[in-house]
Structure 1
C-alpha cells in the first residue's frame, strides 16, 4: 500500500505545522479502511490498515512530545491496533501455507493408494487407513482449525478495540492534540517562578 501524499509541505517551514498535516493525512488514511476492514473476508483491507496504523504510530512516536498530551496516548493506541492486526495477518499468511501442505500430502497419499490398488477394479476402503501421510495431514487439519478459530477471535478483538477507540474519541482527540503545542520547559519554569 502506498502512503498518501502529504500536500503543502514546504522547505524551511516549522516542524509542528508540517507534522500536524502529516498526522492528519496518516489518521485519515487509517480511518479510511473502515468499515471495509470490519468484514473478516477483507484480508487486504485489514492488512493495509495495519500498515496505515504503523505509519501513524511512527510519526506520533517521533513527534508526540511537541503536541498535546493525547498525542502520546494515540501513538500507543496505534501500536495496539497495529499489533493486533499483525496477529490477524500472521493467521492470514500461515493458513494458506498449511492448507497447501495438507493438500500436497493428501494428493501424495491418494496417488499411493491408487498404486497400492494395483489391478483391482475398485479401491479397498481399508487401504485409506494405512495412507503414509494420514497422521501428518490430520495434524495439519488440527492446525488449520486452530488458526481459523484464532483468526476469528482476533478479528472480534479488533472490532472491540476499534469500537473502544471510537467511544473514546480517538480521531477527534488526536486531531485536537496535534493543534495544541507543548510549552517549552523554560517557559513553564518562568511561569512558575
Structure 2
C-alpha cells in the first residue's frame, strides 16, 4: 500500500482554512497520481492504492468540513462513492482469489492470487487481511473440493467475475464523469 505523502509548509499560526488547503492539495495530488491505472482493470494493487488515496482525500474533506465552503459536501459525496466502488472491486478480487485457491487454479487470474500467497509469507502488514492459516488450509491437498463442490464453486467464480466486471465498469464510468466535470479543479478551488 502506498504511504501518505507528508504535507510540508504547515504553519501553526495559520488559520485552519489555510492549512486545510495545503493538506487538501497534497491529498488531491496523491489521489490523481493513480489516475493512469483507471483504464487498467487488472492493475489490482494500483487500483487498491487509488482506493486508499480516495480514503485519505475523503478524511481530509471530512475533517476540514467546517473550514471549507458548502460545495465541499458534494465533492465529498463523490469521493465516498469512488472509494465504495473501488472497495467493491477489491472485495470481489479477494473473493475471486480465494475461490481460485480453493479450486487449485492459480493461473490466468487477476494477480491477486500470487500477491495473496506472497503476502502471507512476509512478516508485517499486507494488502490482504487473510490469515496464512486459511491460505494453508485452502491449499492443503486434503482440502480439494469434491466434483459437486467444484461445480458449485466454479459457478460462483463465474458470477463473481461478472460482478467484478460490472463493479469495474461502474467505477470507470464514474471516474470519467468526474473528469468531465473537472473534479480536480473543483477541489482545488474550494479555498479560492
Q: In structure 1, how many angstroms separate the alpha carbons of the residues matched to 2:143 and 2:99?
A: 17
The residue aligned with 2:39 is 38
1:174 has 2:182 as partner: no
Structure 1: segments with no counterpart, 5+ residues: 111-131, 180-193
Local SS of the residue matching 2:38: helix
Q: In structure 2, how many angstroms separate the alpha carbons of the residues matched to 1:75 and 1:27?
A: 12
Q: In structure 1, how many angstroms separate the alpha carbons of the residues matched to 2:14 and 2:143?
A: 67
CA-CA distance at 1:61 after TM superposition: 1.3
Q: In structure 1, how many angstroms separate the alpha carbons of the residues matched to 2:15 and 2:43?
A: 39
CA-CA distance at 1:175 after TM superposition: 0.8
Q: Given the alignment, which residue of 146, 164, 172 partners 2:177?
A: 164
How many residues were matched structurally?
158
Q: CA 1:109–1:11 in structure 2 vs 1: closer, same or farther (change >3 Å)? A: closer
CA-CA distance at 1:32 after TM superposition: 1.0
User: Larger Rg: 1 or 2?
Assistant: 1
1:58-103 C-alpha deviation (Å, 9 max, x unpaired): 1101212322232111111110000000000001111111111122
Q: In structure 2, how many angstroms separate the alpha carbons of the residues matched to 1:109 and 1:159?
A: 37
Local SS of the residue matching 1:159: helix
1:137 has 2:144 as partner: no
Q: In structure 2, how many angstroms separate the alpha carbons of the residues matched to 1:172 and 1:38?
A: 21
Q: What is the correspondence of 1:30-179 to structure 2 with a 5 Å cutoff?
A: 30-103=31-104, 133-179=146-192
TM-score, normalised on structure 2?
0.76
CA-CA distance at 1:161 after TM superposition: 0.2
Structure 2: segments with no counterpart, 5+ residues: 105-137
Q: Once structures 1 and 2 are overlaid, which stretch shifts more, 17-26 or 5-14?
A: 5-14
Local SS of the residue matching 1:35: helix
1:3 has 2:1 as partner: no
Q: CA RMSD in A?
A: 2.0
